[in-house]
Structure 1
């Protein structure tokens, strides 16, 4: 199997695939990027995981003709002739898609055609949707528009954040989605066309999107930001120029109850501990926050 991924959860996907007899012959991932003050090139976690597991890795700036030739060689020698895409981050061109003859499968964390794009989990939580899920689709040239092999829907609870929703997706993928991959590999799977009239799209998230705004947000919208951005960029208040990151919160009697917070540059702590040494900053919190 050829896997396209640049995601920090690649190890989880790798373990599920290998546990179920899918051997990863090649990882195609984003190239190292400048990082930190020195702007030294840094490999992503998927790349590092593959190297540690002795998996051949291809990290081109763009998928060009040379990349296609290397992917084709790996595909020709693979046992299942399949590809799997999970948060790769780059466009996969038609000439590469065609190599897989309909067996290049994308795991997209939404109930397509809703939330096509890069931030579907965050979008569902931000919009306070009652349910979300994931789709296994045949990769196509158009973004997240391929035919659907499988979907699973589940509830979004008030306590769910990015990570818990992702865990629900992975749990079902390991139990049921992996069987769909086996059916695809043996030409036993069927796929249905997406309804284009129902397609919606996500927006790119910026660090500034995490700010909870006093005159705009409510307890409900603030909690949605906290849960949606629990992985990145984190939700935060600006209190007299000080960034206070909110890691965990809940709602009680129409008030936002802060539970775990972090003053920028310091350690995460219970909000009760933060209150004891920061009485002045508390006066800058919105009225909808329980002090």
Structure 2
């Protein structure tokens, strides 16, 4: 039997944990030895602001895999020199990277025998960068996927080894697509590792002319502009923690998250000003939106909302309370 492939896994959040779990479960079939896991340093989290290990670290510890948490790989710092030395001492054959969150300089990319492979949550070259899932939903894309990429200097610019597609339905949210892609990412990296040298030999360069950049989401992008058409607003709600404010005295500047909705065509004889709550019912809360490019107005049918500091509420729960009434207006 050939010697096991020495694998280092680098990742931090739940998305990466799913891939690591898949590798752990398939390590004997793949003939790999996961010699170390790299993840971000513990961060303060929660109301108590206690230092919390990443999901990837917790999984690695549970399986007795050594964990490394360098602050940097930069040669401008002593820590960076030490981090590179530690990495080299593992003598890795390949590094698998998934949402790690730390820049890997060229010297690190070249340390493993077969380089570093990235599990990226889009169909490259579309949506390079930090927020590919949210940007795909906001743009109205009907599909996304996973690309296994040979990492190179540059932002997600490396050669593509393998792709697998995932449909985006009109009810998918960032969370549902995240979960689908996390599973696909684990499956995809296993596929590639089963025949790594062949996939690397057939790697395809990206067409930079087709590239889109998925810039990091800002808080301001989550505020709903009710002058937009209902379909754009729905995509915003599905993609982001979308929110709005009610222009009523009892709720001054209180942020309200809109969690679930769907567009419906308005009765054109009763067109309302954008942002107006047309009706509060047990099955739906209807809010007027702006007109689309054809001059047609649609309503947003909201089925779940959340007031600041409160729990998510269904339309029925809201209808039974006094937080929202017909004729109220969102800013």
Contact in 2 for aligned 1:17/1:23 (Cα 8 Å): no
Contact in 2 for aligned 1:125/1:228 (Cα 8 Å): yes
Which residue does the alignment assign to 1:271?
315
1:9 equivalent to 2:1? Answer no
After superposition, give the CA deviation of every residue in 1:147-182 in whole Å (9 maximum; x if it has no partner): 000112232110111122223324434445421122
CA distance in 1 between partners of 2:193 and 2:321 (Å): 54
CA distance in 2 between partners of 1:176 and 1:50 (Å): 20
Select which of 41, 45, 69 maps to 2:55: 45
Relative to structure 1, is the Cα distance of residues 113 and 100 closer, same or farther in structure 2, using a 3 angstrom cutoff?
A: same
Relative to structure 1, is the Cα distance of residues 35 and 11 closer, same or farther in structure 2, using a 3 angstrom cutoff?
A: closer
Residue ranges of structure 1 left out of the alignment (5+ in a row):
none
**TM-score scaled by structure 2?**
0.76
Relative to structure 1, is the Cα distance of residues 198 and 279 closer, same or farther in structure 2, using a 3 angstrom cutoff?
A: same
Which residue does the alignment assign to 1:118?
130
Residue ranges of structure 2 left out of the alignment (5+ in a row):
1-6, 74-79, 247-251, 266-297
SS of the counterpart of 1:100? Answer: coil
CA distance in 2 between partners of 1:273 and 1:222 (Å): 23
Contact in 2 for aligned 1:2/1:24 (Cα 8 Å): yes
Moved more, 251-260 or 119-128: 251-260
Moved more, 40-49 or 130-139: 40-49
1:222 equivalent to 2:233? Answer yes
CA distance in 1 between partners of 2:224 and 2:56 (Å): 32
Which residue does the alignment assign to 2:26?
20
Task: Report deviation, 1:218.
Answer: 2.3
SS of the counterpart of 2:194? Answer: helix
Relative to structure 1, is the Cα distance of residues 60 and 171 closer, same or farther in structure 2, using a 3 angstrom cutoff?
A: closer
Task: Report deviation, 1:144.
Answer: 0.3
Task: Report deviation, 1:212.
Answer: 1.1
Relative to structure 1, is the Cα distance of residues 51 and 281 closer, same or farther in structure 2, using a 3 angstrom cutoff?
A: farther
Which residue does the alignment assign to 1:54?
64
The alignment of Structure 1 onto Structure 2 pairs a total of residues equal to 276
Contact in 2 for aligned 1:275/1:282 (Cα 8 Å): no
1:99 equivalent to 2:143? Answer no
1:73 equivalent to 2:89? Answer yes
CA distance in 1 between partners of 2:10 and 2:302 (Å): 39
Task: Report deviation, 1:140.
Answer: 0.7
Relative to structure 1, is the Cα distance of residues 26 and 157 closer, same or farther in structure 2, using a 3 angstrom cutoff?
A: same
Relative to structure 1, is the Cα distance of residues 285 and 152 closer, same or farther in structure 2, using a 3 angstrom cutoff?
A: farther
**TM-score scaled by structure 1?**
0.86
